């Protein structure tokens, strides 16, 4: 009874923190702009105030959008959003298609109708696709009420009544800028800028001077100055335990100044020292630092206290795929395909960093509150450009070449990926153990059972390729592109998926905790053998490179607060007057947006 009551209390605290509003006084706590002149000069001297640098920072990007709205340049703000999303896409076929669409929409289209109600090309394509392929992605389902739910889409900049946040309305500014394209440049001006940039003739600072003199630039500098402060364990408040691993607990936590929730992986220092595993912890930390993908849980901070090393990671409110599969038995194909596609993109990113993941399984795929997947736990990952040997993984998922003790490479991850897809579609393991043999022996000696009625012909073909025992004949041994091109993935628009504009078919209920009851759970039994260890000076010295803070994480937190604070702000009131009609001659090059081209 006591444990049940404690679980209710912890769950309530956890959910309340997840739904809490952002603080309203963050900007008041930041240093005034007139005290930061030396900092501004330092940024200039180190090349950090170029357009490219500022535009690709979360705070700089947000403040530029606010500035463009205040300057009545709504289409330019939408253009900036499309360019930023385009830059995130890695699939080359999708990049070519979307680059063509962006060029056609904003630069090549000089028709009168082009200036009416500008909409993101991603939003346009998402709507076209939903009409072209009815039933491909059904309305998302949830255990919670779906009233008021809107499928995620590209943010559309409003005309009035709202700031440039996620809650922005759907009003559009009708542009009257004469015979030119919707971003206000045309013909020779576009060519002149292209030539100048290609020949390295662009000046170091190619901003519109109005932005540099605006309140938005001041807010950018004030917010960016937060990067200079060291983040420590004192900046976080720990909440309920979400899980437990070999080296310690995983807790939800909140960053005190911004209210941002994270997951804290706490690693017992005594266990690390007693196991002589400093190199493994540092390798995991370094691998996480190198991650920069929406489909992989990334490292935001690494801090420590007297007892633990703490990795501050993305929190995933929707639980792991195993939790959901145990409850539901198996997933509909449309849902399994969506999850698999996002996992594929995550694995592709991990492999692009010369890392073999080595632990692809349902438990290591987490869902966020909107139903998007991320790969987690790089504890067994290894960075290498050569084949390696040595067992790592989870029985039943581990590739046969790993089980057999042979040399292997990243192709082993695609075998585990196939096991994951099979389990999602059928709820069963693909290799049936016989006569008491263990799961690894079954992988090594038994054929995959592809006879299940839950498998379509396309699914059988995909799984036959992924579960091929010979790594040289396995689907994916040449790279992720071959897997993406398999017919089973035909319904997936990889460009929309990478940009975050393909709605998930399942959304976790917002008022449910997707984690087991951890009240009263102690550490691993083996911890008892390390509890009396005294940490040595040599061990402490080996951890000097452990602390880390991501400037991007700091900026994203601040942007979330600013979006919340700006929810009722009409930035068009900042403009003294409407922007004049753009001319069509080559003199119309003096605008900040031109530099994006």
Q: What distance in Å separates the CA atoms of residue 236 and residue 549, rounded to the nearest whole number?
A: 13
The residues with which 437 forms a beta bridge, in sequence order, are none
Geometric angle at alpha carbon 277, from 271 and 278, rounded to 5° = 100
The 3-state DSSP class for residue 62 equals helix
In this prediction the pTM is 0.76
Comparing CA positions, the residue from 328, 486, 366 lying closest to residue 414 is: 486
Q: What distance in Å separates the CA atoms of residue 535 and residue 230, rounded to the nearest whole number?
A: 24
pLDDT at 208: 64
The 3-state DSSP class for residue 245 equals strand
The answer to whether the CB of 478 falls within 8 A of the CB of 426 is no
Report the pLDDT averaged over residues 517-537.
68
* Confidence band of 24 (pLDDT split at 50, 70, 90): confident
Report the pLDDT averaged over residues 219-242.
94
Give per-residue pLDDT as tens, 163-210: 344 333 333 332 223 334 545 544 555 566 556 656 655 554 445 677
Token pair of 223, please? 């917010």
State the CB neighbour count (10 A cutoff) for residue 176: 9
The residues with which 313 forms a beta bridge, in sequence order, are 263, 299
State which of 58-67, 102-111, 165-174, 509-518 shows the largest mean pLDDT: 58-67
pLDDT at 359: 96
The full DSSP string for 175-201 is P---SS-TTS--THHHHHHHHHHHTT-
Examine the pLDDT at 488 and tell me if it is beyond 70. Answer: yes
Give the C-alpha distances (Å, rounded to integers) separating 375 from 288, 306, 360, 437. 11, 29, 8, 30
Q: What distance in Å separates the CA atoms of residue 407 and residue 401, rounded to the nearest whole number?
A: 7
Give per-residue pLDDT as tens, 387-415: 999 999 999 999 999 999 999 999 999 99
pLDDT at 335: 98
Dihedrals phi, psi of 430, to nearest 5 degrees: -75, -20
* Confidence band of 159 (pLDDT split at 50, 70, 90): very low
Run of H or E residues at 494: helix 494-498
Q: What distance in Å separates the CA atoms of residue 419 and residue 435, rounded to the nearest whole number?
A: 21
Calculated CA dihedral for residues 73, 75, 77, 82, nearest 10 degrees: -160
Q: What distance in Å separates the CA atoms of residue 361 and residue 356, rounded to the nearest whole number?
A: 14
The residues with which 248 forms a beta bridge, in sequence order, are 245
Catalytic (active-site) positions: 359
Q: What distance in Å separates the CA atoms of residue 474 and residue 410, rounded to the nearest whole number?
A: 11
Classified by CATH at the fold level, domain 321-498 comes out as: Transferase(Phosphotransferase); domain 1 (1.10.510)
pLDDT at 100: 79
Of 462 and 116, which is predicted with more confidence? 462
Say whether 322 counts as a known binding-site residue: no
pLDDT at 127: 65
Lowest mean pLDDT among 21-30, 281-290, 525-534, 548-557: 525-534
The answer to whether the CB of 381 falls within 8 A of the CB of 364 is no
The 3-state DSSP class for residue 163 equals coil
Give per-residue pLDDT as tens, 97-151: 778 777 777 766 555 444 444 567 676 766 666 555 444 444 444 443 333 323 2
Residue 485 CB partners (closer than 8 Å, separation 6+):
none
* Pairing assessment for the beta strands 248-255 and 236-245 based on DSSP bridges: antiparallel
92-103 helix and 121-132 helix, angle to the nearest 10 degrees = 110
Residue with tokens 């030396």: 38
State the CB neighbour count (10 A cutoff) for residue 544: 7
Q: What distance in Å separates the CA atoms of residue 457 and residue 414, rounded to the nearest whole number?
A: 20
Examine the pLDDT at 435 and tell me if it is beyond 70. Answer: yes
Give the C-alpha distances (Å, rounded to integers) separating 27 from 62, 222, 229, 553, 566. 15, 8, 15, 17, 11
Residue 212 CB partners (closer than 8 Å, separation 6+):
205
CB half-sphere exposure, 443, CA atoms < 13 A: 24
Q: Average model confidence (pLDDT) for the chain?
A: 79
The 3-state DSSP class for residue 496 equals helix
Residue with tokens 């007693």: 274
Examine the pLDDT at 8 and tell me if it is beyond 60. Answer: no
Q: What distance in Å separates the CA atoms of residue 502 and residue 505, rounded to the nearest whole number?
A: 9
Where are the domains positioned within the chain?
A: 27-122+160-228+557-596, 233-315+516-546, 321-498
The answer to whether the CB of 431 falls within 8 A of the CB of 443 is yes
Across 456-494, b (16+ Cβ under 10 Å) vs e yields: eebbbbbbebbbbbebeebbbbeebeebbebebbebbbb
DSSP-derived letter for residue 532 is T
Give the C-alpha distances (Å, rounded to integers) separating 193 from 107, 198, 305. 13, 8, 52
Give per-residue pLDDT as tens, 244-299: 777 788 999 999 999 999 999 999 999 999 999 999 999 999 999 999 999 999 99
Give per-residue pLDDT as tens, 319-371: 899 999 999 999 999 999 999 999 999 999 999 999 999 999 999 999 999 99
Token pair of 399, please? 């590739």
Classified by CATH at the fold level, domain 233-315+516-546 comes out as: Phosphorylase Kinase; domain 1 (3.30.200)
Task: Judge residue 200's burial from the number of C-beta atoms within 10 Å of its C-beta, 0-12 exposed, 13-18 middle, 19 or more buried.
Answer: exposed
Where are any strands of DSSP class E within 246-322?
248-255, 261-268, 299-304, 308-314
Residue with tokens 């702000």: 569
Run of H or E residues at 564: helix 551-565
Residue with tokens 């009722």: 568
State which of 21-25, 158-162, 165-169 shows the largest mean pLDDT: 21-25
* Confidence band of 71 (pLDDT split at 50, 70, 90): low
pLDDT at 312: 97
Q: What distance in Å separates the CA atoms of residue 353 and residue 347, rounded to the nearest whole number?
A: 10
Q: What's the sign of the alpha-carbon dihedral 318, 321, 327, 331?
A: positive
The answer to whether the CB of 285 falls within 8 A of the CB of 291 is no
Task: Judge residue 356's burial from the number of C-beta atoms within 10 Å of its C-beta, 0-12 exposed, 13-18 middle, 19 or more buried.
Answer: buried
pLDDT at 160: 30
């Amino acid at each position: 009874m006591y444990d049940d009551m404690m679980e209710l209390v912890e769950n309530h605290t956890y959910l309340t923190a997840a739904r809490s509003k952002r603080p309203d006084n963050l900007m008041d706590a930041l240093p005034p702009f007139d005290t930061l002149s030396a900092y501004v000069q330092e940024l200039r001297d180190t090349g950090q105030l170029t357009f490219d640098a500022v535009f690709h920072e979360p705070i700089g990007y947000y403040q530029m959008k606010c500035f463009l709205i205040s300057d009545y340049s709504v289409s330019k703000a939408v253009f900036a959003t499309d360019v930023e999303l385009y830059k995130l896409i890695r699939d080359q076929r999708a990049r070519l298609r979307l680059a063509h669409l962006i060029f056609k929409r904003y630069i090549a289209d000089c028709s009168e109708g082009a200036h009416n109600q500008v909409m993101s090309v991603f939003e346009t394509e998402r709507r076209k696709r939903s009409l072209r392929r009815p039933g491909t992605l059904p309305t998302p389902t949830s255990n919670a009420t779906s009233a008021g739910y809107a499928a995620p889409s590209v943010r559309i900049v409003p005309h009035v009544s709202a700031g440039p946040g996620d809650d922005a309305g759907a009003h559009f500014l009708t542009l009257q800028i004469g015979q030119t394209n919707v971003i206000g440049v045309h013909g020779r001006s576009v060519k002149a800028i292209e030539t100048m940039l290609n020949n390295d003739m662009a000046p170091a600072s190619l901003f519109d001077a109005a932005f540099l003199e605006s309140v938005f630039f001041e807010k950018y500098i004030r917010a960016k100055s937060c990067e200079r402060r060291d983040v420590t364990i004192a900046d976080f408040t720990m909440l309920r335990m979400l899980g437990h691993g070999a080296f310690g607990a995983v807790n939800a936590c909140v960053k005190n100044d911004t209210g941002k929730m994270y997951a804290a992986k706490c690693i017992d220092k005594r266990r690390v020292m007693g196991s002589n595993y400093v190199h493994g912890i540092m390798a995991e930390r370094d691998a996480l630092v190198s991650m920069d993908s929406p489909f992989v849980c990334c490292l935001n901070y690494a801090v420590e206290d007297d007892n633990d090393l703490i990795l501050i990671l993305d929190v995933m409110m929707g639980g792991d795929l195993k939790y959901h599969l145990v409850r539901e038995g198996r997933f509909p194909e449309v849902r399994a395909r969506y999850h698999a596609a996002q996992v594929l993109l995550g694995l592709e990113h991990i492999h692009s960093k010369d890392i073999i993941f080595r632990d692809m399984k349902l438990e290591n795929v987490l869902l966020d509150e909107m139903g998007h997947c991320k790969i987690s736990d790089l504890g067994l990952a290894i960075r290498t450009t050569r084949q390696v040997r040595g067992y790592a993984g989870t029985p039943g998922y581990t590739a046969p070449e790993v089980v057999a003790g042979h040399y292997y490479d990243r192709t082993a991850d695609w075998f585990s990926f196939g096991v994951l897809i099979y389990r999602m579609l059928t709820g069963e393991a693909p290799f049936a153990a016989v006569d008491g043999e263990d799961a690894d022996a079954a992988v090594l000696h038994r054929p995959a059972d592809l006879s299940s009625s839950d498998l379509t012909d396309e699914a059988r073909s995909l799984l036959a390729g992924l579960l091929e025992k010979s790594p040289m004949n396995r689907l994916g041994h040449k790279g992720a592109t071959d897997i993406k091109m398999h017919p089973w993935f035909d319904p997936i628009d990889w460009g929309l998926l990478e940009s975050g504009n393909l709605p998930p078919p399942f959304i976790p209920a917002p008022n449910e905790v997707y984690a087991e009851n951890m009240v009263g759970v102690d550490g691993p039994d083996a911890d008892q053998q390390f509890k009396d260890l005294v940490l040595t000076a040599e061990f402490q010295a080996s951890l000097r490179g452990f602390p880390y803070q991501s400037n991007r994480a700091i900026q994203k937190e601040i942007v979330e607060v600013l979006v919340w604070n700006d929810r009722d702000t009409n930035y068009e009131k900042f403009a003294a007057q409407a922007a004049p009609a753009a001319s069509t001659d080559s003199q119309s090059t003096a605008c900040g947006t031109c530099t994006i081209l």
